[in-house]
Each structure stands twice: as structure tokens, then as C-alpha cells.
Structure 1
Amino acid sequence: MNPIVPLIMAVALFMEQMDSTVISTALPAIAADLNVGPITLKLALTTYMVALAIFIPVSGWTADRFGAKRVFRAAIIVFLIGSVFCAISSNLIEFVASRFLQGMGGAMMTPVGRLVILRTTNRSELVRAMALLTIPALLGPMAGPPLGGFLTTYFSWHWIFLINVPIGIVGLIMAGIFLPLIEDEPPSDLDWKGFFLVALAASGIVFGLSVISLPALPPATGFVTTAIGFLSGIWYIRHARRVEKPLLNLSLFSNPSFAVATSSATFFRMATGAFPFLMPLMLQLGFGLNPFESGMITFIGAAGALLTKFVAPKVFSAFGFRTVLITASLGAAILTVTFSFFEATTPHVVILAILFCSGLFRSFFFTGVNALAYADIENNQASQATAMSSMFQQASFALGVAFAAVILELAGHFTGGELTVAHFHIAFAVVALLSLVSVFPLLGLRRDAGAAVSGHKTPQAAE
């Protein structure tokens, strides 16, 4: 295996993962500069993830049709153009449109990068290649909040996007020199109708929920858009049952492990997606911290997630998917409730300790649920399962941001006045309940589910 190949992919993955978290600590500063409220700027977070949810399902087909190397380099260019446009945006519409363009590039970079590795790496070396690729996925969320806070506090929020340019150029040059030309497999015809319906469903639901209470738009706009999204989703379900090769294969849900993992992860990711929106705002607007101080506090959760990667295989082997996932889900829900008791006078060491433990539980959950989803998937269904899982992942994160913002707005509506720490306390309590819902699908999971992947041996199997 040529280690240069996964490292090139890692550059793109690091850039994308960092950018998805770096904006959180800069939200109040960007909102003030664009003359909008910080909650209104949730559109910048949700729009990016909606773009990912829309275009990830067609990334594999695009790579087969136009060549993986060509698509990967084009995706970097699109991401960089979107980054520059974000930096020079002067109003909310320009900023949101630029974030959508960034999301289009990001949707192609990561899945196409994984496809390149799968097609250029021997199976015996695949674990090593994926390990190299996983490191930036963990370091990106760690570096994002403190880096974004530092640049916003001591320079300008514009630099959190401009910093992508040199990183992306390095990745672009390395990809041109070192990535091999891959013989493309002849793709089947794209399910264009399915793509259109999925795009309408993902964007309609997430965008509609985000704009329901925006002061710039009448509430009817959000309700109508959300309704269009749900109707498009229902229409797609009917469409997928009638065509031979739908964009997203719904028959995958007949696989118990995939169905349980996807449904449980959807609720858990919604709760997790709310965190990077709520916590920086509470620390800055409620506690009076600057963006850099806020980023230095929130990044500790990613540090806890990184530690999990070293012990997760042994834990899942010892206790199995069902026990560990239920424990992680309950632990994350309980710790999220404790966020409702944070005050400006709470010692930072206490906040850091709770956020660190929260990162541990979240990482255990995601590590397990991602493996469980593919535990019983056949090889010929792997690409479809990846597309389905990725789409649900990005849509649920985006819905989490929209859901958290709606809770804040409702709390402010009933209590009156500007945002206070009490409003964030209410939001975190509701988000904790959402995290708790993720436990229920797991209760029906067999104790030996995914044992071939986790290595867990039940007492019955041992006998």
C-alpha cells in the first residue's frame, strides 16, 4: 500500500471535518457582522449538512461516470470556491448559498476518497489504510473549535474559511501527482427521479423546520416547505418500491441490524447535532466567554472521543453491541441533562470533565452503531448501505440543529425577552430526552447481534 494515497484523502477529510465544527464558535461574531441574530445563522449549519445529505447518495455514481480521481480533485476545487465565497459574504443569503456550495464539494470529497482507497488498496492492508484515514476525522473536530475561536477572537471570522485555501491547494497538488488513474466501472443509469425526490425531502424538511420562526420570513413559508419535504419523502418511498435500482434501496431496512442501527442513530445524531449549536452559544451569550475561550472548552469532548478509539474494540468484544450501545446512549442522555445545570459560576474544570465524559459516551455509540449497521450487509449491498447511512447521518445532524433552534425560540417566546442561560437549560433538557429515545430501538436487538464483527461471545455461544 502506498501510504500517500490515504494521507491525501486525509487532507480532504480533515478540511471537511474541521470546517463543520470551526463555524460553531464563530456564530455570534458572524451573526453580528451580517446583522442577523445568532439563532438565525443556524441556516448556515443546516444548509451545509443538507447539501451533504443531497449529494452524498450520488457520489459513487458520479465517480464511476467521470472517474474517481477527476471527481475528487473537482470536489476540492468546489469546496475551496465555497470557502472563499463564505469569507467574502456580506449578507445572510450570500453566506448560506456559499455554505451550500461548500457542502456540495464536501459531499463528494469524503465518499469518493473512501472509494479511491477501496480500489487501490489490497484487502489485507485495508485496516491500516482506514486507520490513517480515521485520524483526521478525529483531529478535525478537536482542532475546529479552538482554531475557530482563536482566529475569530484575535483576527477575523473570515479567516476560518480562508485557512482552507492553502490546505486544499496542497491536497489538490498531491492528488494530481500521486493518485493513480482508476479504471472506472460502467455505471448503471442514475435514478434521476429518485434523486430529485430525495433532494426535495431532505432540503424541504430541514430547511422548513429551520425557517418556521425566522423573523425575515412568514411562518407559512416554513410550514409549506416542511410539508413539501414530507410529501416528497412519501412519494420517494412509493417510487423506490416500483423501480429496479432506486437511488436509496429501502429493502435494506429488512435487515434487523441495519434497521435498528439506523433508527437509533438517527435520534442520537439529532441530539448530538444540537450540541455544537447550543453549547458555544450558551458559553458566549450566556456566560460571556469570548470565542477562543468557548472553543478551548468545547473541544475537550473530541479529545474524549479520540481516547475511545484505543479501547473500543476490546469493550465491544467483551460486552457486545447491545449492552455497550444502550449504556452509551443512557450515559450520553444523563450527561446532557447535566448541561442544564451549567452556570457562569460553574468551575471550568467541572464543565471540562463532564464534556470529556460526554465525548467518551458519544464516541462509543457512534463507533458501535456504525459497525453494527454493516455487520450483516452483503458485499453487493455495501455501496447502497453506505449511501443510505450517510444520507440519514447528515440529515439527522441538520435536523438536530433545527430542532435545538426551535426549542430556544419557543422558550424565548413563552418567557419573553432576549436569550438567557435559562433558555439554554430548557433546550438541553429537551435534547436529553431526544437522546434517550435512541435507547428504545436497541432494546429489541439480540444479545449476539453483530457478534461476528465485535468478537463478543455470549454464554450460550460459549457453551
Structure 2
Amino acid sequence: MPRSATLNRPLALLAAVGLSMENLDGTIIQTAAPAMAHDFGVRAVDLNIAMTAYLLTVAVCVPMSGWLADRFGERKIFTTALAIFTVASALCAFSGNLPELTAGRVLQGVGGAMMVPVGRLAVLRGLDRRDLLDAMAYLTWPGLVAPVVAPALGGVLTDTVGWPWIFLINLPFGVAAFVVALKIVPNAPAPEARRLDWAGFGFAGVALAALVLGMEEVGSSSTDWAWAAAYLVIAAGAGIAGVTWMRRGRHPLLDFSALRIGTFRVGNVGGGVYRLIISAAPFLFTLLFQVGFGWSAAQAGLLVGAVFVGNIAIKPATTPLIRRFGFKRVIVGSNLLGAIVYVACVFIDPTTPLWGIAFLLFLSGVFRSIGFSGYNSLQFADVPSDQMSSANTLASTMQQVAVGIGIAVAALIVRLTTAAASALGPADAWLGYRWALAVVALLLVFPMVEAALLPRRAGEHAARR
């Protein structure tokens, strides 16, 4: 069957496995940090360097993924990425100290940076637009599940079989995926692969690294504002220089021309704000319950799990909803209803029935899942096949930035709202955290308005059966 005819479902499932592995490892060591710190003889806060190293490496290396796929073919790069990620997981598991763990995490980041965008590109390149919604359904759920499941999974594995298993669990999946990838991933390098834009890579690398480091500093418990400002200034300077360079280049590392396509722009600009917010929301709920309400980690984790239940429960209905109502209505509605749920959460307190809180979190998961599916599918609805590689690389980079800085932005919002609440005088301990949810609801106005400006039939051909 021609590769461009219909969706290759085994390939889509394989790409989803890779995405699941990469997303889980982005945050899974959070709950394992105290046990790891004890074994390494360091403070738990020192483990932040291992988490930052992973996010930083992924952010810096993602822009090169499209060039690598075009130059060497998707199968070679995807299998290489799987091998690197799997070997790095083993190295992390057997780390004897923090520097060894950090080195392993950097290597994991290299594998993850290639694995996810190249896997998605293999699924989407030449795909019939009528199969786009089905393809993105496979590629969406890992991004919804991982941020909610990772902390709980990390805690369970650490408490039962030990923290090395948060990495060892990748080994059987990695080996199986490698074997399957050799058989089903197509390998067709571009006929005239362009030269690597080294200058663009340098600018993008410096900008993304400085942005991640700056936002990590902003989100830390004891921010050094001078360093944070320095990082962000460097990020802005390198970013502006990089965009200027790449817009003038013949074969730029990141091709921004896809942003002229309305559906792609909405899927990645407004969609980037949306992804940032939904990445931050579980973190905000956890802080509200543990720090604000004084609940145990187990109780807080159980309640936040309602978000995951909502994600999964609605997933079979997301594609039919988009086919029935269209991208515009679904995305605007998910933003609006999601914002209403966050506003409702502003009014919960320790006396609110647990079933009521769980129901609100369930609803937030439902609308989160619908919006995520809508944006992920819309972004590629009008991208021509010959532009898919460059558009996918740009989208992957923008999405990695949004997800990577989501928790840092959430921490900054909490810091500002709790300071504002304290300035007003004695108040309930949870008031600032509740205000943070109001700010999150307000931020959803931007992606909602941007989506509302789309043509009524935007992406319609991709929503048809």
C-alpha cells in the first residue's frame, strides 16, 4: 500500500511509545529525588541539575531533528535515537553519583530530542489529510498522560523496587521498539539533503538553553534575579539574532514560513500558550492541596489523578467531536470551558467535599484532552507534504519550549499571587494558590481569542472522514 494512502497504525503506535518514554522521563525523577539524593550523599534540591540537564538537552537538540531525518532517513535516526535513549536509561539506573546521573540524563535528552519529532514526522510525512485526526489521536495521549502519571509512577517505583527502576523500566520498551522500528519505519532520505545551518543551530541552541535556564532560575525556591535576568536577556538577544539569520538563509535550521499558514500559526502560537498552561495546571493543583490545604502527598496525588481520568475518559470522543463541530468550535469551546473550570476551582477550600473537587479536576482533564487533540491536529491540517519536515521541526521546538517552561511559569505565578495575598494582610494560607488558578484562567483568553479569529471552516478537509 502506498505510504501516502492511509494511516500506518503500527507506525503511529510506535511513535506514541517513543513519545511516552520521552515525556515520562522529563519529570519522573521529581518524586524520587529524596531517595536518590540520600544514595548520592547530596541534598534533594541538588537533583534539580539532572532534571534541568535533560530539559535543556532536549530543547537544544530538537531543532536539528528535521535536518537529520532529511539527511539520513527517518528509520536510521529514529532507531539511533531509541538506542541512545535506552542505553542512557541504563547508565542513569546504574549511576553512582550525581555527575554520572547528570551525564546520563544529557545523553537521554539527545535521544529524546531526535526520537519524538522524527517519530511524528515518519507518521505524518505524505499522510492523507483525511487520516490526520486518527494519526494525532495516537500521538496525543502520551502528552496528556505523562505529566500526570510520571510523579505518581516515580513515587511507586521508588517506594517498592527502588529509584533505579524509574530508568530500568525503559529498557524492555526501548529494545522492543528498536526491533519493531527496524521493520516498519520507512527510510527515505531527501533526494537533495541541505547542508546543516551551523550558525542557525548556534543561535537557536544558545537562545533555547538560556531560556530554559532563565525560567528554571525564575521557578526555583530561591531565585537569583540577576542570573535569571541575564539568562533571559541572552535568550532574547540570541533569539532575535537567530530569527533574523534564519529568515534570510537559503536552507535555515528552522523555517518560519509555516507560520504564514493560519492553522499552523494558531496551533503553535495560541497552542503554545495552551500547552504551557495545561502543563502547569497539575503542578498548581498539587501545590494548592499540599502547601495550601496541608494535605498529604498521597491525598493530593490521588485527587490530581482525576485529571488523568478525565483525559482518558473523553479521548474516544475527541475525534468525533472535531468531525462534528469543526476545529474552531472545539478549540474555542475547550479554552472557554477549561477557563470556567479553573475559575470554579478558585472557590474550593479544605471544607469542599472531596467528590466536588475530584469532579472539577475530572472536568479540567476532559477539556484539556479535547483542546490538546484539537491543537495537535489543526497545526498540520494545511501543511503541504513537501513542507512537513520543516513545519514538524518548528512545531516540535515551539512545543518543547512551552512544556519545558510550564512549571517555571506556574511557580512564578504562585510566587506573585501568594506575595499579593500576603501584602493584603493576614489571609488563609491557600488564598494565593487559588488566585494562581484565576491567573491561569485569564491566560486562556489569548488562545481562545486567537482560535475565535479562525475561519469557520478552518482545517475542514482534515476533519472529514
Q: Work out whether the TM-score is over 0.5.
A: yes
- What does residue 432 of structure 1 align with? 441
Q: Distance in 2 between matches of 1:283 and 1:153?
A: 22
Q: Does structure 2 retain, via aligned residues, the 8 Å contact 1:49–1:398?
A: yes
Equivalent AA in structure 2 for residue 366 of structure 1? F
Structure 1 residue 184 corresponds to structure 2 residue 184: no
Cα distance change, pair 294–156 in 1 and its aligned pair in 2 (3 A) = farther
Counting only pairs closer than 5 Å after superposition, residues 122-141 of structure 1 correspond to structure 2 as 140=146
Q: Distance in 2 between matches of 1:139 and 1:206?
A: 23
Q: Distance in 2 between matches of 1:124 and 1:314?
A: 13
Cα distance change, pair 149–358 in 1 and its aligned pair in 2 (3 A) = same
Q: Distance in 2 between matches of 1:337 and 1:297?
A: 18
Counting only pairs closer than 5 Å after superposition, residues 271-282 of structure 1 correspond to structure 2 as 271-282=277-288
The structural deviation recorded for 1:413 is 5.8
The structural deviation recorded for 1:208 is 0.9
Cα distance change, pair 7–331 in 1 and its aligned pair in 2 (3 A) = closer
Structure 1 residue 380 corresponds to structure 2 residue 389: no
Counting only pairs closer than 5 Å after superposition, residues 85-164 of structure 1 correspond to structure 2 as 86-87=92-93, 98-117=104-123, 140=146, 143-164=149-170
The structural deviation recorded for 1:296 is 3.4
Task: Give unpaired runs (5+ residues) of structure 1.
Answer: 457-463
Moved more, 356-365 or 164-173: 164-173
Q: Does structure 1 retain, via aligned residues, the 8 Å contact 2:293–2:429?
A: no
| Aligned mate of 2:461, from 444, 452, 456 | 452
Structure 1 residue 83 corresponds to structure 2 residue 83: no
Equivalent AA in structure 1 for residue 447 of structure 2? S
Cα distance change, pair 392–87 in 1 and its aligned pair in 2 (3 A) = same
The structural deviation recorded for 1:253 is 2.2
| Aligned mate of 2:171, from 158, 165, 169 | 165
Moved more, 342-351 or 359-368: 342-351
The structural deviation recorded for 1:342 is 4.1
The structural deviation recorded for 1:361 is 1.0
**1:266-305 deviations in Å (ceiling 9; x for gaps):** 2212211212433334444445555554443323323322
Residue identity (%) = 37
Q: Distance in 2 between matches of 1:374 and 1:60?
A: 15
The structural deviation recorded for 1:382 is 1.6
Moved more, 321-330 or 342-351: 342-351
Equivalent AA in structure 2 for residue 307 of structure 1? A
Cα distance change, pair 347–331 in 1 and its aligned pair in 2 (3 A) = same
Q: Distance in 1 between matches of 2:432 and 2:102?
A: 26
Q: Distance in 2 between matches of 1:281 and 1:29?
A: 21
Equivalent AA in structure 2 for residue 364 of structure 1? I
Q: Distance in 2 between matches of 1:92 and 1:248?
A: 34
Q: Distance in 1 between matches of 2:85 and 2:285?
A: 27
- What does residue 214 of structure 2 align with? 208
Cα distance change, pair 135–375 in 1 and its aligned pair in 2 (3 A) = closer
Cα distance change, pair 117–377 in 1 and its aligned pair in 2 (3 A) = closer
Q: Distance in 2 between matches of 1:324 and 1:213?
A: 32
Structure 1 residue 441 corresponds to structure 2 residue 450: yes
Cα distance change, pair 289–302 in 1 and its aligned pair in 2 (3 A) = same
Q: Distance in 2 between matches of 1:358 and 1:372?
A: 21
Secondary structure, counterpart of 1:299 in structure 2: helix
Structure 1 residue 393 corresponds to structure 2 residue 402: no
Cα distance change, pair 154–397 in 1 and its aligned pair in 2 (3 A) = same
Secondary structure, counterpart of 2:250 in structure 1: coil
- What does residue 326 of structure 2 align with? 320
Cα distance change, pair 347–102 in 1 and its aligned pair in 2 (3 A) = farther
Counting only pairs closer than 5 Å after superposition, residues 51-90 of structure 1 correspond to structure 2 as 51-84=57-90, 86-87=92-93
Moved more, 189-198 or 313-322: 313-322
Measured on the aligned residues, the alpha-carbon RMSD in Å equals 3.7
Q: Distance in 2 between matches of 1:234 and 1:139?
A: 34
Q: Distance in 2 between matches of 1:144 and 1:214?
A: 20
Secondary structure, counterpart of 2:228 in structure 1: helix
Cα distance change, pair 342–49 in 1 and its aligned pair in 2 (3 A) = farther
**1:218-277 deviations in Å (ceiling 9; x for gaps):** 432221111010011111121122111212222222222222332211221221121243
The structural deviation recorded for 1:69 is 3.0
Task: Give unpaired runs (5+ residues) of structure 2.
Answer: 2-7
Counting only pairs closer than 5 Å after superposition, residues 333-372 of structure 1 correspond to structure 2 as 333-372=339-378
Q: Does structure 1 retain, via aligned residues, the 8 Å contact 2:55–2:404?
A: yes
Q: Does structure 2 retain, via aligned residues, the 8 Å contact 1:46–1:402?
A: no
Counting only pairs closer than 5 Å after superposition, residues 21-32 of structure 1 correspond to structure 2 as 22-23=28-29, 25-26=31-32
Equivalent AA in structure 2 for residue 434 of structure 1? L
Q: TM-score, normalization: structure 1?
A: 0.82
Q: TM-score, normalization: structure 2?
A: 0.82
- What does residue 5 of structure 2 align with? none
Moved more, 76-85 or 232-241: 76-85
The structural deviation recorded for 1:395 is 0.4
Secondary structure, counterpart of 2:249 in structure 1: coil
Q: Distance in 2 between matches of 1:191 and 1:227?
A: 23
Moved more, 155-164 or 211-220: 211-220
Q: Distance in 2 between matches of 1:296 and 1:169?
A: 32
Moved more, 63-72 or 406-415: 406-415
Cα distance change, pair 371–391 in 1 and its aligned pair in 2 (3 A) = same
Cα distance change, pair 275–20 in 1 and its aligned pair in 2 (3 A) = farther
- What does residue 241 of structure 2 align with? 235
